Structure 1
């Protein structure tokens, strides 16, 4: 039996769910979830966040056909396993199931995956509508998750890379994160919109922003709820990716140019690299003047001090001899 309940999914959803479609996913999890490592809350939360986005909270188990301009191009999408001819296989192999399995090659791969495991699947290739029957509808999502090794990314809380693996890009990323946060809060005992309450309890900035630090804290809390030992939780916890300040390229280039000046001056004065004065062209003349002055004054100062030191030693020696 799935450790994530239908009631929790309903609570986390942003709108009404299709009970039949949701039940298909849960049926497959009940039968096969343990076999594919789907017996951990943190994995299930990542899994359902993607499925709930792709299916509109399970309201759709097949692609809505327009056809749109992109859908019209399905017919010749050989990269999806469709034929190069305009023969209607684009519509035939349109998205099915909660993760919208699309294209002849993906449907064939799903059939082969089921057959290899002795599941005796029906002929999805001839009739893709059979994907939307139990237990195959939920299994199509498990197939996709397993074949892309997404548990490994779920263990790190890496929703960014999971989204790219599922979608091919970052389309709908904010909605995927919202589903992740809402479902995480529900299974941790909060209301689905109680993010600020979670932040306050965990010493985070109370800003209702599901940024990297908040997602990392939710992930750690799910690991703890899973009973993962703290040593392992430290390894599996998502790394916090802070936003970096963006430095304009022109400014960055100017900084690098000025900081490389000292090395060039040293090479020029030392003669070891064969650089000439032309190598310093384009550098800030004020910085160049200061460095050149320092380079000239320092040896002169050393020579003067050396003379004074030698003269002093000579005077001491003469005094001793007399």
Structure 2
């Protein structure tokens, strides 16, 4: 064999081994191992995958987000909340909005109560490790720490795994409940679902279990929650014009019926971000002790249910 033939032979072997290695890597289960930069770059821009891969893996380790299905659900939510890791502060919100506590971090932690809860968590960890106290409240500079690594990532891990106990629901593959716990409604539902499908297809090759990406509201924990059932009706109701998922009369009826069936208390108003007061001014109820007017979820549900069934 001459030198040219030998070099060609060696090149073919090494090229074949490289292809096989990449193939094996692609099919490797993600349970209990670190996510690779190359895998993350299949989902986000390479500059962001380089920036975040180390902090992500540390967060996965620290918060027990350590199986294919947990990582899948975490990433699907974070991808939407951060616009594919581009933003760690809420777009369109000023530093004065939400009384100074706008959405920050990869999962957009919002409101002072959540900032303080996360601050308390980190300082309990720091105390055990004899580290300095960290502050996320008070001065603007403290709050902005959530916009930068490591806290932009750790705060997302804390909110997902500790504050909202969503690893449990990731294990149950309850995408609907996880979305509502993180978003408070169904904003970006289709986008989150598409990301989950992409993650499962391109990155996750779980050998422990299958990860279905078709979801039924009746099988979700959200089905046992009156506010979440109401939201399911609202977001599927084309009359109300909410964006995030496909309008569907049957699903809207299902959500409203379940909300009424669960019989939320009369003092349970709809969340202000649903922006329904202008649609139903005749249903406003005065709460004299607080000098405010509220909409009760079940009142709106009853009216929309009647109208939807009438138009069938």
- Normalised by the length of structure 2, the TM-score is 0.51
- Correspondence 1:109-120 to 2 at 5 A: 109-118=117-126, 120=132
Residue 216 of structure 2 corresponds to residue 241 of structure 1? yes
CA contact (8 A) 2:59 2:153 kept: no
From 152, 161, 164, the counterpart of 1:148? 164
Residue 157 of structure 2 corresponds to residue 178 of structure 1? no
From 53, 57, 72, the counterpart of 2:80? 53
- Determine the structure 2 residue equivalent to 1:99: 107
CA contact (8 A) 1:3 1:41 kept: no
State the 1:10 CA deviation: 2.2
State the 1:25 CA deviation: 4.6
State the 1:24 CA deviation: 5.8
CA 1:41–1:129 in structure 2 vs 1: closer, same or farther (change >3 Å)?
same
From 42, 49, 67, the counterpart of 1:40? 67
CA 1:109–1:241 in structure 2 vs 1: closer, same or farther (change >3 Å)?
same
CA contact (8 A) 2:85 2:106 kept: yes
**Unaligned 5+ runs, structure 1:** 76-81, 83-88, 190-221, 250-322
Residue 91 of structure 2 corresponds to residue 64 of structure 1? yes
- Determine the structure 1 residue equivalent to 2:286: none
State the 1:176 CA deviation: 0.1
- Determine the structure 1 residue equivalent to 2:135: 123
State the 1:37 CA deviation: 1.7
- Determine the structure 1 residue equivalent to 2:54: 27
Name the SS of the counterpart of 2:42 in structure 1.
helix
CA 1:158–1:65 in structure 2 vs 1: closer, same or farther (change >3 Å)?
same
CA 1:181–1:110 in structure 2 vs 1: closer, same or farther (change >3 Å)?
same
Deviations 1:118-137 (A, max 9, x none): 26452111321112233211
CA contact (8 A) 1:24 1:137 kept: no
CA contact (8 A) 1:27 1:138 kept: no
RMSD: 3.4
Query: Matched residue pairs, number?
Result: 185
- Determine the structure 2 residue equivalent to 1:12: 43
Q: Whole-Å Cα distance in 2 between the matches of residues 37 and 242 of structure 1?
A: 27
**Unaligned 5+ runs, structure 2:** 1-31, 219-247, 254-312
Deviates more, 1:2-11 or 1:236-245: 236-245
Deviates more, 1:25-34 or 1:55-64: 25-34
Q: Whole-Å Cα distance in 2 between the matches of residues 242 and 32 of structure 1?
A: 30
CA 1:155–1:238 in structure 2 vs 1: closer, same or farther (change >3 Å)?
farther
State the 1:55 CA deviation: 0.7
Name the SS of the counterpart of 1:61 in structure 2.
coil
State the 1:30 CA deviation: 2.9
Name the SS of the counterpart of 1:12 in structure 2.
coil
Q: Whole-Å Cα distance in 2 between the matches of residues 174 and 50 of structure 1?
A: 11
CA 1:181–1:29 in structure 2 vs 1: closer, same or farther (change >3 Å)?
same
CA 1:128–1:102 in structure 2 vs 1: closer, same or farther (change >3 Å)?
same
Q: Is the radius of gyration larger for structure 1 or structure 2?
A: 1
